[in-house]
Amino acid sequence: MPATTDNQSSFLNRISIRRNQVVAMENHDLELEDLELFQKHVADRFSHILSTTAGNITDPSSATTESPSAAQESCTPPLLSISWFRNLLDTYLCCEAEFKAVLVMGRDPTQFTKTPLDKLIPDLLDRSVKALDICNAVTHGVELVRHWQKLAQIAVTALQQTTIGEGQVRRAKKALNTLLTSMVVDEKENANSNNHGKSTERSWSFGRRGGSGNNNKDRATGNFRSLSWSVAKQWSAAKQIQAMSANLAAPRGGESTGLAMPVYIMSTVLVFVMWSLVAAIPCQERTGLATHFVVPRQLGWAQPMIGLQEKIVEEWKKKEKKGTAGLLEELQKMEKVAQSLVDFADSFQFPLEEEKAAEVAMQVEELADICRKMEEGLVPLQQQVREVFHRIVRSRAEVLDLLDQVGKLSTPVPY
């Protein structure tokens, strides 16, 4: 995103220069201008994501044939695809850098002790801590997706042989069954969770259910305990998002033209990014995620974000009852093709008819393409999530340093 980077650099240089030199314009007017520019950049960046998003993610029930616009979609990332999330995280990092410049650079720290910042800043710091938990959960979720990709690759390798025999089909079927079993939510477990009013551990997500009675099942699913993430049973990604958005209210009256507005904007961007990641990547307990996050429609800068949110909510509602492991576009395609190949394996007879062989070859190539995209994109995506994590930590530390300075200034000097 070169244009975005150039705008960000220009914006940061502008603030730095103007706040360190004498200017004729009043400080208040300068601040208003900076705030307006920040809002414009947020709107422009999310408008760019919305305009370059290639439609909705693939419906698993749809046909496998390529659409006429496939060439165009190869240049514009589909909604909730790996490349789409990489753009989203880049956008977050750019917005966060500009926000920090508006909030911190050349700022008198005593302003943080005055209304409304005296309440908004602690809320922002608390929201940041919750976002760090989400980043950790998503990082482990991406690791799980990488494991699924390796299982799919086993099936691809087996079925790409020149002659497909029973041995290759059995190997592919075993890998794909392991993949699908680990992706499916145990609906009975969900029902028990809802009836008893508490969350339970998800076998598809972190595979941590123990007991000698599950030994055979562990072997069938490839024993996913090595991918487990130590987290409390009651931890819920959906509840974490809900807690992040609980105190999120748009500034009113005079507060809408002060520092309260960029704090609200950045908090909204943070919640939206974390919400999107949780919707797409396997995370523990996401029930009701679509109802936890609302952005006021009257805010101009929020319109493209609302447009993206509506698309994601639409996809979530379509798949919420199907027990899928996440809305990541590549995962949706992988699940569909894997199920189709398992059906083929169940009815396999040697020798394979020429027409059936051609059909299977097309599906195997589609699965191979998904594996290639995951192989190329998942590690960089995981690194970006970690970069977001470390950026949040650093920015939070800088704000805490400023608050510490205020505390020292207000401490009486002993004589």
HEC readout, 338-378? HHHHHHHHHCCCCCCCHHHHHHHHHHHHHHHHHHHHHHHHH
> What is the DSSP annotation of 22-79?
--SS-HHHHHHHHHHHHHHHHHHHHHHHHHT--SSPPPTTS-SSPPTTHHHHTTSPPT
**Contact (CB, 8 A) for 230 and 138:** no
**The pair of three-digit structure tokens given for residue 1, joined into one six-digit string:** 């995103």
pLDDT score recorded for residue 221: 41
pLDDT score recorded for residue 410: 60
**pTM (2 decimals)?**
0.82
User: Residue 13 class from Cβ within 10 Å (0-12 exposed, 13-18 middle, 19+ buried)?
Assistant: exposed
d(CA 222, CA 151): 10
d(CA 43, CA 148): 36
How many Cα atoms are found within 13 Å in the side-chain-facing hemisphere of 298? 5
Taken in order 63, 67, 73, 79, is the CA torsion positive or negative? negative
d(CA 120, CA 316): 31
Which residue has tokens 């599906």? 363
Residues contacting residue 131 through CB under 8 Å, at least 6 positions apart: 244, 270, 274, 392
Query: Which pLDDT tens digits describe the chain residue by residue (415 residues)?
Result: 555 555 565 655 555 545 444 443 456 677 788 899 999 999 999 999 999 987 655 554 444 444 434 444 456 899 999 999 999 999 999 999 999 999 887 778 888 888 999 999 999 999 999 999 999 999 999 999 999 999 999 999 999 988 888 999 999 999 999 999 998 854 334 434 444 443 333 333 333 333 334 444 444 444 433 344 456 778 899 999 999 999 899 998 888 888 999 999 999 999 999 999 999 999 988 887 877 678 888 899 999 999 999 999 988 888 765 556 889 999 999 999 999 999 999 988 888 888 888 999 999 999 999 999 999 999 999 999 999 999 999 999 999 998 888 876 565 545 4
d(CA 324, CA 187): 11
